[in-house]
Amino acid sequence: MPVLPDQHVINQIISGHYADPFSLLGMHDVATGLEVRALLPDADQVWVIDTQKQRRVAELRRYDDRGFFVAQIPRRKKHFRYQLEVRWGEVVHIIDDPYRFGTLLQELDIWLLAEGTHLRPYEKLGSHPMTLDDVDGVSFAVWAPNAARISVVGEFNFWDGRRHPMRRRRENGIWELFIPAVREGQLYKYEIIDCHGQTSLRADPYAFEAQMRPDTASLVRKLPEKVDYSPARKKANALNAPVSVYEVHLGSWRRHADNNFWLSYGELAQQLVSYVKWMGFTHIELMPINEHPFDGSWGYQPLGMYAPTRRYGSPDEFKAFVDAAHQAGLNVILDWVPGHFPSDAYGLVQFDGTALYEYADPREGYHQDWNTLIYNYGRHEVRNYLAGNGFYWIERYGIDGLRVDAVASMIYRDYSRKAGEWIPNYYGGRENLEAIAFLRYTNQTIGRELGGAVTLAEESTDYPGVTMPPEANGLGFHYKWNMGWMNDSLSYMQLDPVHRKYHHNLMTFGVLYAYSENFILPLSHDEVVHGKGSLLDKMPGDTWQKFANLRAYYGFMWAHPGKKLLFMGGEFAQGREWDFNASLDWHLLDEANGWHSGVQHLVRDLNHCYQQQSALYELDYHPRGFEWLVVDDHENSIFAFARRDDHGNELIVVSNFTPVPRYGYRIGVGRPGRYHEVLNTDAHFYRGSNVGNVGDVYTDAQPCHQREHSISLVIPPLATIYLRREDC
């Protein structure tokens, strides 16, 4: 007689509630030999086949009419490779039994995953096509320590949770299963019975591809091949390199005119990449392309952290887009959101019936501003999930930098909370020590293991040492967005020129702290949404003055210490604020007045001038690279400064933020010689009034501004000019 558990256990596995399927299913030792057990609902007949000998060795008896089969194989003590020949009606299939395979995770992986220091957890968790014991199939693994039972369900098993329950690894709460014959591209989910007995279908947190919304299943995909990091890409990210970033939302940069549908990754590889290269930018920054359920979140509420969104194509097509950018000499930055996630039922919320990925207490785990959940950075596995994701995008897709969103919301427990709505840390402070440790670990390991890739912080407070190394008590980012400069300078530019003399310090204050961090000057999407209007719309005055103000501002920004970032549409002065659901207003470039094309030509020339003049970028983060020449002319709203490189090359920058041209304006300079006007934002080519210095200006031995030599300039109205010192 077969040696079987009692009927209660059989009832549990048939109903899909048995947590230890390997103890019951598969091949087992019994007193009289071997016994094979299988759960095959609706099967009519089942045989055990010796794979090596290719012959039947025993017929499985239907022990329970609901599909539980058992066969005893007497006189055989040694386990052997076997298959099951199954007849469903008139159809016969030979299948490999998932329950004849051993454990999948190795001891070292189990240790590192539990410790939270596995650099590449995505190589072990999720779904992976593989060959095991000469059998092709897919391994599945998911972390859910408090679940009562987890099954893999998909189009390969009729989405039936009874057919493929997983093995629980008690060492670290990971559930695993190798399923033969599953193919790449097939849909799957995890059917989870949580610790409260509730059943839910969940997408794979480590899925490499997901269905197009509103569908939510994961797809089996091979792990993308690693991308080599070229010396040129490393050099382009360096602190002494020119960095000019074009920030893009792929779904609204340009759309098909006939149906307003998105461009594909392939179309973007041709159109966007060539445009960004032509415009002279050095980097493309993508607003999050991680899979996300809601278009209106712009990708900032992701659930598929490891899956490029299907909105624009497949993962392979996204990878080809990144490669096209690299081929064009452009680096790619990805906006990355490890701060929060939405509460969609198929995602991470209460994943195993407990607050697994999120903090349990809403005072820690709920974002009031965004109606989202905050990752629990105190859990090793959660930190590992997120840090590994950063590795994944850099190593597997060739992403050159991660711009980390909303860092302030991560590192402060009282972010956007009133008194009593937050929980202090262990020491009674407001800092989220676990989030800080996570950021330090991620930045440090990316810097150590993936040399050349950079991380950039959108951090809106004055938290000290954002770009200092962790060993110096910093967060370890390579760059920080300079939100203070952006707010001050835009506040100044929105003033009527007659009032600017009273707020002169708004344009000078940024230099006082410009060297406290490695700053990027951002004019991002956040400045052109939610009723804020476009950059052009912020400028005061009539049409001529609006465009002149914007051109002068861009000239000032491109010369100011710090790398540059401009959101799409700003480069041609789009008149309305950004709408994620429509294309940019490219038709503006066809208008006969040329206002918009003039701004576009200016931004293009600024980018090329910026790359050509090493004085504008080489010493961005060293005070030797900057000197005020005129800092106190409040009455005329004029600013003048020198930028220098490591070899003494010098560029003088002068901005006039009034509509009054200044003739014979004298500025003291440190070195005598000839100065050539290399850029003038008031040039006719940019649709300005064409006031300027007509080429070269020579110094006079006339003291001015505490300097022995000076130059007399014509400073155009509402304009910025660049003058390069030339060897005579």
Nearest Cα residue to 170 out of 147, 188, 192: 147
| HEC letters along 223-278 | CCCCCCCCHHHHHHCCCCCCCEEEEECCCCCCECCCCCCECCHHHHHHHHHHHHHH
Three-state secondary structure along 282-317? CEEEECCCEECCCHHHCCCCCCEEEEECHHHCCHHH
What whole-number distance in Å separates Cα of residue 624 and Cα of residue 614?
13
Catalytic residue among 291, 381, 434, 458: 458
Pairing label, strands 650-656, 719-726: antiparallel
Q: Can you count the helices (H) and strands (E) in the chain?
A: 15, 35
CA pair distance 373, 59, nearest whole angstrom: 52
Element housing 663 (H / E): strand 662-669
Token pair 């369900």: residue: 153
CB of 85 closer than 8 Å to CB of 31: no
Identified catalytic residue from 209, 405, 605, 650: 405
| Run of H or E including 392 | helix 380-397
Q: Could you give the strand order of the β-sheet that contains 167-169, starting from the edge strand earlier in sequence? A: 126-132, 135-143, 174-180, 167-169
The H-assigned helical ranges of 102-150 are: 107-115
Residue 227 has which token pair? 């991308």
Local structure of 518: helix, strand or coil: coil
**Which residues neighbour 665 within 8 Å (Cβ) at sequence distance 6 or greater?**
638, 712, 713, 714, 715
- The answer to whether residues 658 and 719 touch, using CB atoms and an 8 Å cutoff, is no
Residue 653 DSSP SS3: strand
Structure tokens of 409? 């919301």
CA–CA distance, 390 with 197 (Å, rounded to integer): 34
CA distance 329 to 346: 39
Q: How distant, in Å, are the alpha carbons of 277, 684, 687 from that of 694?
A: 30, 12, 17
Cis bond leading into 214, ω under 30°? Answer: yes
CA atoms within 13 A on the CB side of 587: 4
Question: In terms of DSSP H, where are the helices of 496-542?
Answer: 497-500, 505-512, 535-538
- Residue 458 appears among annotated catalytic residues: yes
579 among known catalytic residues: no
Residue-wise over 574-583: b if at least 16 C-beta within 10 A, else e? bbebbeeeeb
496 CB burial (10 A radius; 0-12, 13-18, 19+):
exposed
Which residues are registered as beta bridge partners of 68? 39, 64
Q: Give the number of other CB atoms < 10 A from CB of residue 664.
A: 8
Local structure of residue 166 (DSSP, 8 states): P
- Calpha distance 614→643 (Å, rounded): 9
| Sign of CA pseudo-dihedral 660, 662, 668, 674 | positive
- Give the catalytic positions in this structure: 405, 458
